[in-house]
Chains A and B, each alone.
Chain A
Amino acid sequence: MALTFPRRAGRRRRLRRFTRRDAVVLGVLLGIPILLDLAIVWGPTLASIGLSFTAWDGIGDIHWVGLDNYRNLADNYPPFWPAVRHNVMWLLFLGLIATPFGLFLAVLIDRGVRFSRFYQSVIYLPVVLSLAIVGFIAQLILGTDQGVINTILNNHDDPIDWLGDSHLNLWMIMIAAGWRHVGYVMILYLAGLKSVDPALKEAAAIDGANERQTFFRVVFPTLRPVNVIVGVITVIEALRAFDIVYAVNKGRNGLELLSVLITDNIIGEASRIGFGSAIAVVLLVVSLGFIVTFLVQELRGARER
């Protein structure tokens, strides 16, 4: 990385801009995080891609098997396609219901109603809970025998198995995950709305726009950076979802997710590391699609600045 600016300033300019001590500070304090990120994130990512073309049990030799893992994944690994479907449903649920609802709450609270701090804290509260606890609370509410919902429905003879029935449990877990997601989205949008220039809204009001028009035509477009971030976070949360299903039933019986399959294959008894890596690469390719979109947006935003 070159430390000069502007580009054609030459050697004398560089000396004036950064003393030797400055260069050392920059080198060390930029070098450590860069090396760390390479070692912890980017290196292992590349290694995962490499491993996905091999067969390995973690101890013995590594055999190159080409695309076999991917072929097996698509053709004879029964949990794969359900897991893909569940991840997609998770994404749609967060993206189409939880995220818009979080935005809606942020807009309401940002209008400066009284007690806004109270509403804001309560709605954000679930976000600070670990997903393991959220999963447990879901069990309290949705339990078969003593759960709250079944008590209210008073169906002792034929209780609904909310978390065990493979047609129902994914929905219940998605609602529980949405409970946290809404608060997270709300806080991000509140932060964004606070930085919108009030003069914009006044100008729109003077021009005769009503509240809804002002929001959708004026405020929402200026929130673009936040929109992009919220979009990316929604996608990533949907792809990463793991803890909550793992806490409920280790991700079986209707709650299969790609992240669970990876963990099962890698740290499970079978230890099929090559195969697990192939699932990880599938997840990686999908997330990279969204990450690249995000980066392009950021780059465009940075150019405008």
Chain B
Amino acid sequence: MTADIRTTAPVPRTAPDPAPPVKSRRRRGRWGVHIFLTAVSLAFLAPLLLAVYASLRPYEDTAQHGYLSWPKHLSFDYYRRAYTESGMGKYFTNTLMIAVPAVVVTLFLAAFVAFAVSRLRLRGGIVLLMFFTAGNLLPQQVIVTPLYVLFNKIPLPWWMSDSLTMYDSYWAVIIVNIGFQVGFCVFVLANFMRTLPQEILEAAIVDGAGVWTQFWRITLPLCRPALAALATLEFTWIYNDFLWALIFISNPDKLPITSSLNNLRGQFFTDYNLLAAGSVLVALPTILVFLLLQRHFIAGLTLGSTKG
């Protein structure tokens, strides 16, 4: 990546001819930009393509010839093995049980806080905004120990957690994810809501709408792009999370999908091609979610409006 900067960065800026006609110079600049962006895209895509390529080849083949060699034999066999041997189906369900409630609750709570802060003109709104935003920026490791102790002390009835404590239950991971992620969502949503016209709300107030109606019926539908962008981001983050589950869950059957890859590592021998197939499978859901929602993605990520 660093090499790319040095070798190809100057390309788009080249305009050596003393006074070429503006149009052709611009066209040549365009080509330079395309060549540069294609090169960067390939460099960014290459590691992923390599993982896919490795996953399609038998171990003996790559062990003998290295990963960068012509294939003798291609098959999807490793995908089937990776799926069954790691028990991925179960772990994927575990992850969904954590990620889906966490994303929904986070977005709901954050949307209301953002609404209150940016639209209702409450006194102390700024303080509230900072309280949440700053909380999201703390390193996770700072809060890990007290939470670990706390969760071990909170009893839960058996129908909520078979460990009978908050520790080693999905509740712990879900709640920590919500508490930690609300800050970021409040920040993004508050910025987005500030760009909505205030007149709509004023009209609703004249019609006698209460706070709930102003929030749920009027503001929230307008925030759909921002909510879509945040849902994508948050789902990816929680899906990919590694640390919280590592610390708060001890029963191996409850671990999320990111840890299932460890099951594919043998004690003495690791078949890296099998691991590659597993990685591709694990990465697939987040890639799909992103590709499906990417149309809303940029439009929704209004982090700070510079207009008006």
Interface residues of A (CB under 8 A from B): 1-5, 7, 18-19, 21-22, 25-26, 29-30, 32-34, 36-37, 39-45, 47-48, 51, 58, 97-98, 101, 104-105, 108-109, 111, 113-115, 117-133, 136-141, 143, 146-148, 150-152, 175, 178-179, 182-183, 187-188, 190-192, 194-197, 222-226, 228-229, 232, 236, 239-240, 242-243, 246-247, 258-259, 262-263, 266-267, 273, 276-277, 280-281, 283-284, 287, 290-291, 294-295, 298-299, 301-302, 305
Q: Smallest distance from the beta carbon of B79 to chain A beta carbons, Å? A: 15
Contact A33 B137, beta carbon cutoff 8 Å: no
Contact A242 B243, beta carbon cutoff 8 Å: yes
B51 within 8 A of A: yes
Residues of A within 8 A of B122 (CB): 1-3, 5
Contact A129 B283, beta carbon cutoff 8 Å: yes
Partner of B175, one of A36, A44, A122, A259: A36
A109 to B41, CA, bound (A): 12
21 inter-chain pairs at a CB distance below 8 angstroms, sorted by A residue, are A5-B122, A25-B211, A26-B120, A29-B112, A30-B112, A37-B179, A41-B138, A44-B147, A104-B9, A125-B290, A126-B47, A133-B282, A151-B67, A191-B303, A229-B304, A247-B242, A262-B144, A266-B145, A280-B141, A280-B145, A291-B134
Residues of B within 8 A of A267 (CB): 148, 246-247
Residues of B within 8 A of A137 (CB): 47-48, 50-51, 279
Q: Smallest distance from the beta carbon of A290 to chain B beta carbons, Å? A: 8
Within 257-299 of B, Cβ neighbours of A (below 8 Å) are at 258, 261, 272, 275-276, 279, 282-283, 286-287, 289-291, 294, 297-299
Residues of A within 8 A of B121 (CB): 5
Interface residues of B (CB under 8 A from A): 1-2, 5, 9, 12, 30, 33-34, 36-38, 40-41, 44-45, 47-48, 50-51, 54, 62-63, 66-69, 109-110, 112-113, 116, 120-124, 126, 128-150, 175-176, 178-180, 182-183, 186, 191, 194, 210-212, 215, 236, 239-243, 246-247, 258, 261, 272, 275-276, 279, 282-283, 286-287, 289-291, 294, 297-299, 301-307
Which B-chain residue is minimally distant from A242 (CB atoms)?
Answer: B243
A42 to B131, CA, bound (A): 9
Contact A126 B44, beta carbon cutoff 8 Å: yes
Contact A111 B33, beta carbon cutoff 8 Å: yes
Contact B123 A277, beta carbon cutoff 8 Å: no
Partner of A22, one of B139, B141, B211: B211
Residues of A within 8 A of B182 (CB): 33, 36-37
- Provide the main secondary structure of the chain B interface: helix
Partner of A141, one of B40, B50, B236: B50
Contact B67 A148, beta carbon cutoff 8 Å: yes
Which A-chain residue is minimally distant from B273 (CB atoms)?
Answer: A140
Contact B109 A32, beta carbon cutoff 8 Å: yes
Partner of B68, one of A133, A151, A178, A240: A151
A183 to B239, CA, bound (A): 18
Contact B141 A283, beta carbon cutoff 8 Å: yes
If A22-B211, A104-B9 touch, whether A192 touches B303 (CB-CB below 8 Å) is: yes
Contact B147 A259, beta carbon cutoff 8 Å: no
Residues of B within 8 A of A183 (CB): 44
Q: Smallest distance from the beta carbon of A4 to chain B beta carbons, Å? A: 7
Which A-chain residue is minimally distant from B305 (CB atoms)?
Answer: A195
Contact B306 A225, beta carbon cutoff 8 Å: yes
Which B-chain residue is minimally distant from A114 (CB atoms)?
Answer: B34
Q: Smallest distance from the beta carbon of B149 to chain A beta carbons, Å? A: 7
A2 to B121, CA, bound (A): 11
Which of A48, A147, A150, A226 has the most chain B CB atoms closer than 10 A to its own CB? Answer: A48
Which B-chain residue is minimally distant from A36 (CB atoms)?
Answer: B179
If A37-B183, A122-B41, A280-B142 touch, whether A113 touches B30 (CB-CB below 8 Å) is: yes
Residues of A within 8 A of B306 (CB): 192, 195-197, 222-225
